[in-house]
Amino acid sequence: MRLLKQGVTPIRLVSLLLLAACRGEPSTAPTVEIAASPALAQLVTEDVDRFWRAYENGGRSGSASAFQQRYLDSASAGLRDFIGLRQLTAASLAQVATAYPAYLDALHVWWRTTPDRATVLNTIRANYGKVQALYPEAVFPPVTILVGRFSTGGTANDRGLLIGLEFFGRDAQAPLGELPAIVRENQKNWVHDLPPFVAHEHVHFLQVRARNFSGRDGATLLARSLNEGIAEFIGALAAGEPTYRDFFRVWQANEATYFAEFLREKDGTDISRWLYNQGRTAPGRPGDLGYFIGYRIAQAYYLKATDKAQAIRDLITLRDPAALLVQSGYAGSGPPIP
């Protein structure tokens, strides 16, 4: 899930792209432990604690060296991966700290005092168990909570799931006036929204492990929309709702129209009208509609299937997107989004 074009600074958030997919490129970094059971999965929060120590010791005033020495130099394996995936630097963190001090101050106080951390981590682990019941072949990668530069709310590679705490400021009652509009509109709750985010990224991890690379650049619009929509659908089976729930509720009113447009473009590779385009659409047209269409196709396929376990396998492995669309019977409508 990508929220910002790589290389774009947090000050230039006009080109934000909400919730883009894990691309699935194999990592060349050292191996990390992928757990065989939910109980053994690593849930890593130490990077956030190190970030706040850096913030308290010069980072808030814009010291890049504070972030380098107290945060990046002692990064966990997950944060090290994130540094490469999202071009995270000490200078970019210093820029964030000086651009959004009121927001970060509130997030800082909340992280130090919230009683909800264990509850959320326990929910994530419980959702891992629900995925195991749906898909016995599942494994359980580390989940690393970190602080980035407003480049992503969540992403994954073949080593784990990486979550940007800076997008979860609602529970902190953080003031949002400093933030660009699209970031304000996509602020999330730690307690309510983080478990679905992790569930979505977990499905992406399992897709790549199953050698389903439908999210890669150059795949068709249909394949890439299914890549995201399947993660939304199976993630919702585990967590109780999709990450895009509030958007889906609105979009369903025009579902048939959107699907008719989608059919005309589904076999091409131009995703610009459908995916990773929040804030860059024509007036009145939502961004990221491909998530919704992909979700509806996956939902229809699952509801129609008599063998639900096999349907989950089919969705995660996704060998033939065109055939899955036909077999789903989806024609532009589905059950109400709860």
Q: What is the pLDDT of residues 163-189, one digit of tens each?
A: 999 999 988 899 999 998 878 888 999
Predicted model pTM: 0.88
Whole-number CA gyration radius for the chain: 19
Nearest to 278 by CA among 270, 269, 288: 288
Distance CA 191, CA 202 (A): 18
Phi, psi of 28 (to 5 degrees): -100, 0
Give 160's strand partners.
Answer: 157
Q: What is the pLDDT of residues 29-60, one digit of tens each?
A: 445 789 999 999 999 999 999 999 999 999 99
Q: Is residue 146 classed as helix, strand or coil in its secondary structure?
A: strand
What single-letter DSSP state applies at residue 37?
S
Contact 65, 78 (CB under 8 A): no
Between 333 and 182, where is the model more confident? 333
Distance CA 132, CA 234 (A): 11
Domain ranges in the chain are: 13-209, 221-328
Q: Which residues contact 191 (CB under 8 A, 6 or more apart)?
A: 116, 119, 120, 171
The length of the chain is: 338
DSSP secondary structure, 168-216, as one string: --TTTT---TTS-HHHHHT---HHHHHHHHHHHHHHHHHHHHTT--TTS
pLDDT of residue 31: 53
279: tokens are 């804030």
- Residue 10: is its pLDDT beyond 80? no
146: tokens are 């970190």
